[in-house]
């Protein structure tokens, strides 16, 4: 029998365990290949501990080639699927050339993405906790806030820097806020100008209580434990909008903050959403065998799939497999078994059926809540069970050992507060609420601003000359173009007249762009001369990047 080509899209729990089972049981029947945009598997339950520097980032990931030694691994981005031709288009390598890969059987395990577009300002100003880069970014951001708060002389800035808001109180939100709170308070002794009472950590949940999948008494215990450790728990209220300096709640409360962590807003992967498959709640509908109806040879599992647990499911989430690692692992194994049964014809396909063994959630400070086989646990015993369960779940003895050593060392050694700065994006959208100060006199010119939505007002008061200047900027207007000339201090105050959105471009990137296009260079040169009276005409400053000279071949 010729081997069937199986492509597994996605390197999460579902995809990895499906590929592993196919390699273990079906090497004579199928040729399996796993495609993922990274060459590693992320153990997502440990991401909050990576963000809190409890464990090293390398210990929360495992190379796919080490985990799946008998499976072909392809690091590539999936760009499209042609169900009629039975091909998957991927882009890979430095040249970024599209490659069409044929398949006989296709397994879609691309998970879910983060979609915060329902909340104005949240996509631009919130941190997420979906992958390893998110955990790194959160850790760096927290330490950066502590560093700036320790030296700032502005009480308002200090209050914003020392307020940390986590939105969403499911597993990820509760464990993230607990680890963040523990990191902050363990690090405080190294910041002499920050008092413990100046720290404010909040957990915001739209539902009436946190951890909605847990029994009420365990959720209440978790709430009390977090409150004991200084975490404010706000339930029955959601997030309405956000800016770079505040988050607005649905009850009108405005919380000044520079840190918003969003663990809400799951949405379908953009590729999955564009496939035209029958979907519900952002997930691909399957039958109980995890086959995608009306598409021969196409399977789906994990967070991307809506797998019924009963014969005739109603419009009720409890009738479908939940989006947890525990279920994804079993789905992967069962899907592999069904796929092999189809290919070989030796056995019948079996519907997916699994009952949760329980749930565990860490609360930090050596406390947790757990419900295992109907038995409720809380406190230190639950925390030890949580540690043991996830340790046993980690793939590979070396990974288990390193994580265990880090957990033990974390009890005795101080937290790692080394701040490794990453290169910030060259452009970004910034949301402002009505009345927000965009720029103030004395601030360093840092980039170029274009108004996308709303309006802003510039006011310049020259006390030496008595001159007063006002100007309103609307959509399409811009300011900050003097960064082409030199870095200098702001002379005016810019305030948002209404809720507004601004596109910001860094000084370096804006200078490069303007000088690469002669018409832009000429436009801004004339604009500065007209606007500022020719005071600064030179476009050959010594303190910004010079226009490169082109080499010529003799």
The CATH number that domain 427-531 falls under is 2.60.120.10
pLDDT category, 552, cuts 50, 70, 90?
A: very low
Ranges of each domain in the chain: 4-37+76-113+267-344, 122-264+358-412, 427-531
Least confident of 43-47, 108-112, 152-156, 243-247: 43-47
Q: For CA atoms 83, 85, 91, 92, give the dihedral sign.
A: positive
Mean predicted lDDT score pLDDT of the chain: 90
Other beta carbons within 10 angstroms of residue 439's beta carbon come to 19
Give me the mean pLDDT over the 156-165 stretch: 97
CA distances from 127 to 138, 173, 328 (A): 7, 12, 25
What pLDDT digit, counting tens, does each position of 441-455 carry?
888 878 999 999 999
For the residues of 394-460, what is the DSSP string, one character each? SSSHHHHHHHHHHHHHHHHSPP-----PPPPPSEEEEEE-TT-EEE-TTPBP-EEEEEEES-EEEEE
Share of the chain above pLDDT 70, in %: 95
pLDDT over threshold 60, residue 536: no
Closest C-alpha to 173, from 143, 213, 123, 133: 213
The CATH number that domain 4-37+76-113+267-344 falls under is 3.50.50.60
What pLDDT digit, counting tens, does each position of 176-195 carry?
999 999 999 999 999 999 99
Same CATH fold assignment for domains 4-37+76-113+267-344 and 122-264+358-412: yes
Residues 6+ apart with CB under 8 A from 396: 62, 66, 67
Give me the mean pLDDT over the 492-504 stretch: 95
Give me the mean pLDDT over the 220-234 stretch: 96
pLDDT category, 197, cuts 50, 70, 90?
A: very high
CA distances from 177 to 89, 202, 214, 262, 475 (A): 39, 8, 18, 11, 38
Q: Which CATH number fits domain 122-264+358-412: 3.50.50.100, 3.30.420.40, 3.40.50.9100, 3.40.50.300?
A: 3.50.50.100
Give me the mean pLDDT over the 339-352 stretch: 94
Residues 6+ apart with CB under 8 A from 224: none
């Amino acid at each position: 029998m010729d081997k069937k080509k199986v492509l597994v899209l996605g390197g999460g729990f579902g995809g990895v365990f499906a590929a592993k089972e196919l390699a273990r049981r079906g090497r004579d029947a199928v040729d399996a290949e796993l495609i993922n945009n990274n060459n590693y598997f992320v153990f997502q339950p440990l991401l909050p501990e990576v963000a809190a520097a409890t464990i090293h980032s390398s210990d929360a990931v495992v190379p796919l080639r080490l985990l799946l030694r008998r499976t072909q691994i392809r690091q590539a981005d999936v760009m499209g699927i042609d169900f009629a031709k039975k091909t998957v288009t991927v882009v890979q390598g430095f040249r970024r050339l599209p490659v069409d890969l044929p398949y006989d059987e296709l397994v879609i395990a691309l998970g879910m993405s983060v979609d915060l577009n329902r909340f104005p300002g949240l996509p631009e100003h919130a941190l997420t906790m979906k992958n390893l880069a998110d955990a790194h970014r959160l850790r760096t951001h927290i330490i950066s806030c502590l560093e700036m708060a320790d030296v700032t002389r502005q009480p308002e800035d200090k209050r914003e820097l020392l307020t940390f808001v986590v939105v969403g109180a499911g597993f990820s939100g509760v464990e993230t806020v607990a680890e963040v709170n523990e990191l902050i308070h363990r690090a405080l002794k190294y910041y002499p100008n920050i008092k413990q009472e100046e720290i404010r950590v909040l957990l915001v949940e739209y539902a009436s209580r946190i951890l909605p999948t847990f029994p009420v008494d365990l959720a209440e215990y978790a709430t009390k434990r977090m409150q004991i450790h200084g975490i404010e728990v706000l339930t029955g209220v959601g997030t309405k909008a956000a800016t770079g300096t505040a988050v607005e709640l649905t009850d009108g409360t405005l919380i000044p903050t520079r840190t918003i962590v969003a663990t809400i807003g799951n949405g379908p992967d953009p590729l999955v959403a564009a496939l035209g498959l029958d979907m519900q709640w952002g997930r691909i509908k399957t039958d109980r065998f995890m086959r995608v109806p009306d598409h021969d040879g196409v399977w789906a599992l994990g967070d991307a799939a809506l797998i019924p647990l009963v014969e005739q499911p109603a419009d009720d989430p409890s009738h479908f497999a939940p989006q947890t690692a525990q279920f994804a692992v079993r789905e992967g194994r069962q899907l592999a078994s069904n796929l092999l049964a189809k290919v070989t014809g030796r056995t019948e396909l079996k519907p997916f059926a699994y009952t949760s063994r329980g749930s565990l959630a860490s609360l930090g400070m050596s406390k947790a809540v757990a419900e295992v086989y109907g038995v409720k646990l809380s406190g230190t015993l639950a925390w030890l069970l949580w540690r043991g369960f996830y340790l046993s779940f980690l793939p590979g003895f070396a990974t288990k050992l390193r994580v265990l050593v880090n957990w033990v060392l974390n009890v005795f050694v101080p937290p790692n507060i080394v701040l490794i700065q990453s290169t910030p994006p060259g452009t970004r959208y910034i949301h402002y609420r009505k009345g927000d100060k965009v720029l103030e006199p004395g601030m360093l010119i840092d980039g170029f601003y274009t108004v996308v939505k709303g309006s802003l007002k510039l006011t310049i008061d020259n006390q030496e000359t008595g001159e007063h200047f006002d100007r309103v900027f609307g959509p399409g207007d811009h300011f900050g173009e003097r960064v082409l000339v030199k870095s200098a201090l702001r002379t005016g105050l810019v305030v948002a007249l209404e809720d507004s959105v601004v596109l910001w471009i860094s000084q370096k990137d804006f200078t490069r762009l303007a000088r690469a296009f002669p018409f832009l260079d000429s436009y801004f040169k004339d604009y500065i001369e007209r606007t500022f009276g020719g005071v600064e005409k030179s476009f050959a400053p010594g303190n910004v990047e010079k226009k490169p000279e082109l080499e010529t071949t003799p």
